[in-house]
Structure 1
Amino acid sequence: MSRVLLHDRRIVVDGRPRLLLAGEVHYFRLPRAAWTDRLDRLRECGGDTVATYVPWLWHELPDGSVDLTGRTHEQRDLAGFLDLAHERGLYAVVRPGPFIMAEVKNEGLPYRVYDEHPHLLPTTWDGRAITTRTVDYLAPEFLAAAEGWYAEVMPLIAERLADHGGPVIGVQLDNEIGMLSWVTNSPDLTDVVCEDLRRWAVDRYGKETAAERVGADPGDPDAWAAALRSPAESRSLTLHDDLGRYMRDRYRRYVVALRESAERHGVTGVPFLINVHGTGGGRGRTFPIGISQLFEAYRGQPQLTSGSDYYLGDLTVTNVADLYVSNAFLAAVHDAHQPPTSLEFEAGNGDYGQDLSTLYPPEAIELKARLCVAQGNRLLNLYLFAGGYNPPLAEPVGDGNDRIAFTGERHGFAAPVDPEGRLNPTYAAARRALHAVRGVADLLADSDEENDGLALGFVPDHYLTEYHHPASASRAEQVADLERFRGMGPRDVLARALLLAGYSFPAVDLQSPLPADTPPVIALASAATLGREVQQRLVEHLHGGGRLLLHGVLPEQDHDGNPCTLLADALGLTVTGRVDDGPQSFPSVVGHGWAAGRAEARVGYAQRLAGDAAEPVLTEVASGEACAVEVTVGAGRALVVAADVPCDLDFWRTAVERLGARRRLAPDADGPGLVLTSTVDRAGQRLLHLVNVAPSAVTVSLGWHGAPLLGGRRLRVPARTGMILPYGVRVGAATLLETTCELVGRDGDTLLLRPTQGDDEVLLATDRPVTASRGSVHTADGRVTVRLPGGPDDEPVRITLA
């Protein structure tokens, strides 16, 4: 039996932190005869965990009975699949819905749920019918149906929990909650939801304020529902704000209901998981919307954590900051015990439409995996690891193919293992990635990412933008402003510049009290809208000696549209105007002081600022007025950059250094595209992570807080590859001080290393004799240097202490 706990942002199995490397294999899409092969392929790839959805639609039969043991079809034998995974030495993460998505029709719900309760399909804006197959999550009829499904599936899962001696170490509750309504801009506004929102608003504000914010009497249900569905322009901003906040509370209550149901039916003693959606088009700019929608459903909940749903395609300079910031924002709203995970970690080649319009380079999976584990992800689930076939529905519905999914007969044709069991190039890339991580998995499982005294500010309410009534001009203007300036900054330059300049940084939730370990420098990409409490928190941060890098525009209003200039007033700044790019307008800026000497730069906008104590850093050329300034506030200092200046790495590095942040790894690289960070465990053992997303090789020398690493030698990081270099890692009676090799494994007094440079070195501190399977060994003053000449790239070197 194994005890599984979430503790201190770790997944702890039998008292030991574990890094879980999983792959999604759908038993219901594969004949039983193929199960062993796919599970063994997963193990060969480096996986230790299998994940699978459990489609309610497939297991419930026309007579209302449920088959989970294969009595009616071998591909309904969930019990047999989990038992086989256990026999093959794999853990399991089970995802029984009720919603599963996975291209299954009705998102996994049986047709009879809709047939018996047609009112569960929500009404939305202006009384229109919703265009997806989502339902009213909290409708009593749906919760009763979901309870019936859980009553069938959860006891079977409970019998196979790890603490009962089985393979199951985690259970996901539902899938991508709220996603369907968001992507279609169709909030659920059934009569039941409108009534529930009325109670919520009255409890929150009282009747009079609720009426004022929505524009209808809470005592008149029809008028109240009409006001929600067709907002008056004069109430649009307050109504949209309340609608978003209510939906977050609604999702929280839904997760509570599902968890209580699962626990009633025996699922206890393993973590529960929530899948967060939001990437699209190869970008992660909207991923924080999913975080904002769902973080109240999991933050602070014991033995429950979230996981990302990452579909970013290739990883390049375009979107590497998207992935980095998404991981940081996700962690920012976790509590002290909740580890980040990735429950859908894209593993395919991108040919999802089977039209060869897209093919991702195989190395993308390795780049993304290396970056995610460096940021503390404790579980990666390769999705989809193995393809299969969509079986016919138990009862035809006459929709053209009568299969369980809308992808046709074959499914997962882009996966590393295709439906027929053939391997595409992403399999080898996944294997390289997982095995590279596996060699240091024990260190990664119990380590945390370090930072450079800098944090990116996260404002969840900046992403409360999933709904906007089509006729509301004020809401459209507010959302457009937020989308332009929030998160990673205008043109994504703030986050991209910091990351590619060699900084690593967490995020901090600015809507909650700042934790004691908040880095002294906060970088915030701000729109004109910023909540009063957040503005006040930033003012207090500055007065307490903190520093602030503000990029975007000065906040001038709260989310209700009310004037709010707390931060601007504390900074002693006023906005005197703004110039934007246009057909006959080419705003440009020029530097002053420490920013002087740079070429004049054209920008997309420049907000003109005035302040008696402000020191100009950039001025707008046409007016001569400042658009970037430094100011002192109490014991703190702020740099406000109110123009979308280019991604000039030297400019942004100097800006951050002036606020006191210093890069601990101090890279000296010959080109951009290299992402650097480090992780450290409680014993001080470090791993240095280098990820090159550039299309060409980068050479770099590294320091550690000013002292050169590796004797100051330059490392060559080939195009689109990564390295994890051990630094101060114990190996038996020795300490591996530093090396240019990756650590493949260690066992007692023996370690295996993979050379990366062709002329590699290993530096050990030990008083024991050392031998190496190749290369030369030199000993002096208690230190041993092993020099390794060039050899086959994949041939590891064995070093042994006698």
Structure 2
Amino acid sequence: MPFLINVHGTGGGRGRTFPIGISQLFEAYRGQPQLTSGSDYYLGDLTVTNVTDLYVSNAFLAAVHDAHQPPMSLEFEAGNGDYGQDLSTLYPPEAIELKTRLCVAQGNRLLNLYLFAGGYNPPLAEPVGDGNDRIAFTGERHGFAAPVDPEGRLNPTYAAARRALHAVRGVADLLADSDEEDDGLALGFVPDHYLTEYHHPASASRAAQVADLERFRGMGPRDVLARALLLAGYSFPAVDLQSPLPADTPPVIALASAATLGPKVQQRLVEHLRGGGRLLLHGVLPERDHDGTRCTLLADALGLTVTGRVDDGPQSFPSVVGQRWAAGRAEVRVGYAQRLAGATAEPVLVEVGSGEPCAVEVAVGAGRALVIAADVPCDLDFWRAAVARLGVRQRLAADADGPGLVLTSTVDPVGQRLLHLVNVAPSAVTLALAWQGVPVLAGRRLRVPARTGLILPYGIRVGDATLVETTCELVSRDGNTVLLRPTQGDDEVVLATDRPITASRGSVHGTQGRVTVRLSGGPDDDPVRITVA
């Protein structure tokens, strides 16, 4: 019988503190047979504000699991958020659909909707004098925010949950044996950066250290490092930097860096660089161990020293401007800029007031590092250029007309792939996709409505044929027959086969082993049945 550990840590609609729960618990279950952890997520709605929180929380949780500990969510928020029965909160119904689509795209194998249905709390067999003498503290009823309330009535989140679970069920057999792919980039996870829940109230130095960690750790200052990477279209796992790096660690590590970083982690990053790896460091240059001892192993290897720092204030408006490949962009305001010096450092950003660099590129052995010591804005083009300097290339790229789209893909052991698109923006996004530089669907533009998502099959076996690409979502497969749900109103399905193809509607066109089924005539999402004869 497997034992499951419920990891808490979200609050106020955010997941910035969720890794505190991981840091407190992971050593109890990591690598232990028949024992694993699952998330306890209460994020409310999913928007550009917190979509990165969910993505990074999933990644950090997976980083301390082994291959026999699949990701899962043991408390997956499913209701409308009116937990206090005061109508101070009502989440949009589509929140559960967005969160479901993102979690399954990241490999979650189990989502326990909490609560899915409400009920009644019976009286205790023996009164205890606690005010209600019932088995719970919510009164006679519980789960009044659930999709199905205690009386069996459905609230608007029920239909959204149904849509999401139907979409997942159509590809369940593929998801069960698939893993998320990445772009050769991993986000560094330092569990000790989250040992901040308690500190001595009389220690000013410890309070300052905690404040520094809370500002810079995890997703980076203003959460921009992780948010920019995700909304720029990159997929990335996390890697636990306090343990030996796995053999399959991506070549580029992005780390949100505070002033505190332990010597073993610093040395591990130095070895990664000297071995030909690359490092994107965003925050401030590490300068001490967790006990306050000076530790500059990484800075010394980079050949960098800190010459000063400017912070914003009532009469201080620090700004930075680009150099070399970052030149040509407007000067931008920042909340702080740490000035850096190094004999071989190549300036990328300079602090306007002093003219000194606050972002530099440095070669270390066979590797290369990009250090950005200022809280620059979430300029997606800047961050794309930054990771491109370190050799990162998107496998799945989107030419989108606006931000808010999360892209990733999953693949099974035989190469069957699903393309996951999740639009958390409040408006529709249109885009053209490319896989490894090759246009998907001949470069046609797709429309993903506001706050919805798509799971598109890409190279899926259907009997003796291959479903090469399509604008439709998969409803089911059974032998030589596939059922697909149109998503665009003018849809197409491309198959590779020499066998005859029949479709329940639409037109079928075939040449030289490639068959296209075209479905036109307006927004009709009734499934189409395609059979390989």
TM-score by length of 2: 0.99
C-alpha distance in 2 between matches for 1:591 and 1:340: 40
Q: Deviations over 1:506-529 (max 9, x none)?
A: 000000111111100000001000
C-alpha distance in 1 between matches for 2:532 and 2:324: 57
Q: Deviations over 1:200-229 (max 9, x none)?
A: xxxxxxxxxxxxxxxxxxxxxxxxxxxxxx
C-alpha distance in 2 between matches for 1:689 and 1:394: 50
Query: For residue 175 of structure 2, what is the aligned residue in structure 1?
Result: 444
SS of 2:492 mapped into structure 1: strand
Query: For residue 223 of structure 2, what is the aligned residue in structure 1?
Result: 492
SS of 2:419 mapped into structure 1: strand
Does residue 1:350 correspond to 2:47, yes or no?
no
C-alpha distance in 2 between matches for 1:288 and 1:615: 34
Q: Deviations over 1:116-151 (max 9, x none)?
A: xxxxxxxxxxxxxxxxxxxxxxxxxxxxxxxxxxxx
SS of 2:115 mapped into structure 1: strand
Query: For residue 251 of structure 2, what is the aligned residue in structure 1?
Result: 520
Does residue 1:636 correspond to 2:367, yes or no?
yes
C-alpha distance in 1 between matches for 2:3 and 2:531: 42
- Report the Cα offset of residue 304 of structure 1: 1.5
C-alpha distance in 1 between matches for 2:522 and 2:2: 45
C-alpha distance in 2 between matches for 1:361 and 1:689: 21
C-alpha distance in 2 between matches for 1:422 and 1:779: 49
2:346 to 607, 615, 632: 615
- Report the Cα offset of residue 407 of structure 1: 1.5
Q: Judge conservation of contact 2:48–2:425 (CA < 8 Å) in 1.
A: yes
- Report the Cα offset of residue 778 of structure 1: 0.5
- Report the Cα offset of residue 293 of structure 1: 0.7
- Report the Cα offset of residue 793 of structure 1: 4.1
Task: State how 1:580-729 maps to structure 2 within 5 Å.
Answer: 580-729=311-460
Q: Deviations over 1:561-587 (max 9, x none)?
A: 100000000000000111111111111
C-alpha distance in 2 between matches for 1:383 and 1:473: 41
Number of equivalenced pairs: 533
SS of 1:417 mapped into structure 2: coil
SS of 1:702 mapped into structure 2: strand
- Report the Cα offset of residue 791 of structure 1: 4.8
SS of 2:396 mapped into structure 1: coil
C-alpha distance in 2 between matches for 1:538 and 1:675: 28
C-alpha distance in 2 between matches for 1:304 and 1:760: 45
- Report the Cα offset of residue 792 of structure 1: 5.2
Q: Deviations over 1:259-297 (max 9, x none)?
A: xxxxxxxxxxx3221111101111000000001111111
C-alpha distance in 1 between matches for 2:225 and 2:169: 33
- Residue range with higher mean Cα deviation, 382-391 or 673-682: 382-391
- Report the Cα offset of residue 338 of structure 1: 1.1
Runs of 5+ in structure 2 lacking a partner?
Answer: none
SS of 1:594 mapped into structure 2: helix
Q: Judge conservation of contact 2:488–2:523 (CA < 8 Å) in 1.
A: no
Bigger fraction of residues in strand: 2
Q: Judge conservation of contact 2:319–2:332 (CA < 8 Å) in 1.
A: yes
Q: Judge conservation of contact 2:107–2:180 (CA < 8 Å) in 1.
A: yes
- Report the Cα offset of residue 394 of structure 1: 2.0
Query: For residue 507 of structure 2, what is the aligned residue in structure 1?
Result: 776
- Report the Cα offset of residue 465 of structure 1: 1.1
C-alpha distance in 1 between matches for 2:143 and 2:199: 34
- Report the Cα offset of residue 391 of structure 1: 1.7
- Report the Cα offset of residue 777 of structure 1: 0.3
C-alpha distance in 2 between matches for 1:554 and 1:406: 48
C-alpha distance in 1 between matches for 2:524 and 2:208: 55
Runs of 5+ in structure 1 lacking a partner?
Answer: 1-269
Q: Judge conservation of contact 2:362–2:368 (CA < 8 Å) in 1.
A: yes
Q: Judge conservation of contact 2:430–2:446 (CA < 8 Å) in 1.
A: yes
C-alpha distance in 2 between matches for 1:344 and 1:509: 24
Distance 1:793 1:426, change over 3 A: farther
SS of 1:366 mapped into structure 2: helix
Does residue 1:383 correspond to 2:140, yes or no?
no
Q: Deviations over 1:726-756 (max 9, x none)?
A: 0000011110000000000000111000001
C-alpha distance in 1 between matches for 2:452 and 2:46: 11
- Report the Cα offset of residue 406 of structure 1: 1.9
Q: Judge conservation of contact 2:273–2:365 (CA < 8 Å) in 1.
A: yes
2:205 to 471, 474, 484: 474
Q: Deviations over 1:61-93 (max 9, x none)?
A: xxxxxxxxxxxxxxxxxxxxxxxxxxxxxxxxx
Q: Judge conservation of contact 2:490–2:523 (CA < 8 Å) in 1.
A: no
TM-score by length of 1: 0.66
Q: Deviations over 1:490-514 (max 9, x none)?
A: 0000000000001000000000111
- Report the Cα offset of residue 483 of structure 1: 0.4
- Report the Cα offset of residue 397 of structure 1: 2.4
Over the matched positions of the two proteins, sequence identity in percent amounts to 90
Q: Deviations over 1:328-380 (max 9, x none)?
A: 00000111221111000000101011111000000010100000000000101
Does residue 1:335 correspond to 2:66, yes or no?
yes
Q: Deviations over 1:587-627 (max 9, x none)?
A: 11011011111111000010010111011111111111110
C-alpha distance in 1 between matches for 2:387 and 2:54: 22
Q: Deviations over 1:168-198 (max 9, x none)?
A: xxxxxxxxxxxxxxxxxxxxxxxxxxxxxxx
C-alpha distance in 2 between matches for 1:461 and 1:730: 45
- Report the Cα offset of residue 398 of structure 1: 2.4
Query: For residue 185 of structure 2, what is the aligned residue in structure 1?
Result: 454
- Report the Cα offset of residue 667 of structure 1: 1.2
C-alpha distance in 2 between matches for 1:286 and 1:311: 12
Query: For residue 497 of structure 2, what is the aligned residue in structure 1?
Result: 766
Structure with higher Rg: it is 1
- Report the Cα offset of residue 460 of structure 1: 0.5
Distance 1:588 1:792, change over 3 A: closer
- Report the Cα offset of residue 403 of structure 1: 1.9
SS of 2:152 mapped into structure 1: coil
- Report the Cα offset of residue 475 of structure 1: 1.6
SS of 1:771 mapped into structure 2: strand
Q: Judge conservation of contact 2:489–2:525 (CA < 8 Å) in 1.
A: no
Bigger fraction of residues in helix: 1
C-alpha distance in 2 between matches for 1:302 and 1:333: 14
SS of 2:116 mapped into structure 1: strand
Distance 1:467 1:793, change over 3 A: farther
C-alpha distance in 2 between matches for 1:423 and 1:666: 39
- Report the Cα offset of residue 404 of structure 1: 2.2
Query: For residue 279 of structure 1, what is the aligned residue in structure 2?
Result: 10
C-alpha distance in 2 between matches for 1:685 and 1:517: 21
C-alpha distance in 2 between matches for 1:635 and 1:779: 51
Task: State how 1:86-101 maps to structure 2 within 5 Å.
Answer: none
C-alpha distance in 1 between matches for 2:473 and 2:28: 39
- Residue range with higher mean Cα deviation, 438-447 or 458-467: 458-467
C-alpha distance in 1 between matches for 2:35 and 2:130: 38
Q: Deviations over 1:521-557 (max 9, x none)?
A: 0000010000000000000000000000000000000
- Report the Cα offset of residue 390 of structure 1: 1.7
Does residue 1:793 correspond to 2:524, yes or no?
yes
Task: State how 1:147-162 maps to structure 2 within 5 Å.
Answer: none
C-alpha distance in 2 between matches for 1:706 and 1:428: 37
C-alpha distance in 2 between matches for 1:666 and 1:767: 30
- Report the Cα offset of residue 801 of structure 1: 1.4
2:296 to 565, 568, 572: 565
C-alpha distance in 2 between matches for 1:794 and 1:760: 10
Q: Deviations over 1:751-778 (max 9, x none)?
A: 0000011100000011111111110000
SS of 1:545 mapped into structure 2: coil
Q: Deviations over 1:613-664 (max 9, x none)?
A: 0111111111111100000001000000000000000000000001000011
C-alpha distance in 2 between matches for 1:520 and 1:793: 45
C-alpha distance in 1 between matches for 2:460 and 2:322: 45
C-alpha distance in 2 between matches for 1:361 and 1:646: 28
Q: Judge conservation of contact 2:487–2:525 (CA < 8 Å) in 1.
A: no
Task: State how 1:201-216 maps to structure 2 within 5 Å.
Answer: none
- Residue range with higher mean Cα deviation, 388-397 or 537-546: 388-397
SS of 1:567 mapped into structure 2: helix
- Report the Cα offset of residue 399 of structure 1: 2.7
Query: For residue 145 of structure 2, what is the aligned residue in structure 1?
Result: 414
SS of 2:134 mapped into structure 1: coil
C-alpha distance in 1 between matches for 2:477 and 2:160: 23
C-alpha distance in 1 between matches for 2:96 and 2:525: 19
